[in-house]
Structure 1
């Protein structure tokens, strides 16, 4: 009975997703039914198509935690849905092994509806996973998904500097507090381990703040950005949480009528 319930859940979830939600373009032969194909889910979950097909047909063996984690990521399950998937498979869901490094489509679409607001989405380790054109203009025009990390920028000086006013050290404490939380949640994530080693080796400031075990919650901040082309701007940064993916959306605005606001308006009207 449980095997059939798992098969039904996988089938229903696959049918509910659309290709654009997982970053696929509508190319090739027309789809006879809505939803993803079995081979697409299998590829995203790093499984063979035959194995995944047997799971959907209630013929497969009991899947391991590794396989269930892969399916949860491939099917864009929320934490509650992930727990449900594990229960259907007769297992208890352990904490996620890695930060979610893919932005949900509705979050990505929201970024495009904010023409005079810079917006950046970061994962639990401050890796940039999505942004809009205005944020790209403010942060140097060389954001790269999967390679740009705001903690690395803060402590190793990559890209234009953005410092907090009036206390330039405050943002450093916020960054370290979030990285400590990430290290507790994802102790075996290789990318996070490498990032922490890089920061520890390259920044005395990072090492000193890490030793203090700072605790900070996201909220409103005023920052000064020193940009090589547009100069110094005083900006407001506010954070929205995406708790199901342990991500944050940073919204960058300026006080009404300020030079910074006029600069954001001008940048937002430039062609991209």
Structure 2
């Protein structure tokens, strides 16, 4: 691990970003250009002390998960993200997988969507980044352990995930998850993630296994979705799906038509902010 090179790379990456580049308010006047250390630490989900020690050449060797978080926080390109891994003595993520490096262009758009829930998701269903409205709508995915950030896994293995939707909509959601995963697994047989997820869910969920055997295939498409929020109630939202150029990362945006009750509730959600998304009675909702 080259601590000196790593520290310099982190400092330079931080200095070239302004608050607006990462969706933060400008705040008070800054003595030096760039983000503050505490801002980078917050974006990466680590303590300020840990990040400070990395910049001071005295930090421990970051885990692969931490490197991914730093690359995302500093808005690194794929090549820059690979360089970050090399500085620590790690092999970068394999290119045939759905890279955990969120493309800077997608992050730039995500940062500008301050009034619409939006998140970046891999084609396999793993949440990579969210804006504040998305966290308020469906919960903070990045606060969960890495394995629990996959939307398909949570839908079939975590009953609380289903409480986000009306009970009558659940069969359609289940079919959509399975059909999309089948399409991804067939399109990328060299990627171990979809195959491993299929094997896990076929073993752990009778519902998934039954739907998998029906062999339905469908990618994520724009659609209408209904959400049950524990504070603002039912929202009917338009779901738009934007693809990265290699089609392995999706920017999913939810909007409500102006003048509708759902639009008013979405505006209220901005005021309410992030709430405890754990349903009080998940059994009653499903």
Per the normalisation by structure 2, the TM-score is 0.59
Aligned to 2:13: 19
Aligned to 1:44: 85
Deviations 1:144-194 (A, max 9, x none): 373411112322234353448975433322222221233234446554444
Q: How far does residue 41 in structure 1 lie from its aligned partner after superposition?
A: 5.0
Q: Does the aligned pair in 1 maintain the 2:126–2:150 contact within 8 Å?
A: yes
> Given the alignment, which residue of 214, 217, 230 partners 1:215?
217
Deviations 1:95-139 (A, max 9, x none): 943221221122112112112210011112100001100000000
Aligned to 2:154: 153
SS at match of 1:244: coil
Aligned residues: 208
For 2:186 and 2:232, locate their aligned partners in 1 and report how far apart those are by CA, in whole Å: 39
Identify unmatched segments of 5+ residues in structure 1.
Answer: 1-14, 30-34, 50-66, 74-94
Aligned to 2:245: 243
The structure with more helix, counted as a fraction of residues: 2
**1:232 has 2:234 as partner:** yes
Instruction: Report the aligned-residue RMSD.
Output: 4.0
Identify unmatched segments of 5+ residues in structure 2.
Answer: 1-8, 23-36, 41-50, 57-75, 275-286
SS at match of 2:161: coil
Aligned to 1:100: 99
Aligned to 1:202: 204
**1:111 has 2:105 as partner:** no
SS at match of 1:217: coil
Whichever of the two has the greater Rg, that structure is 1
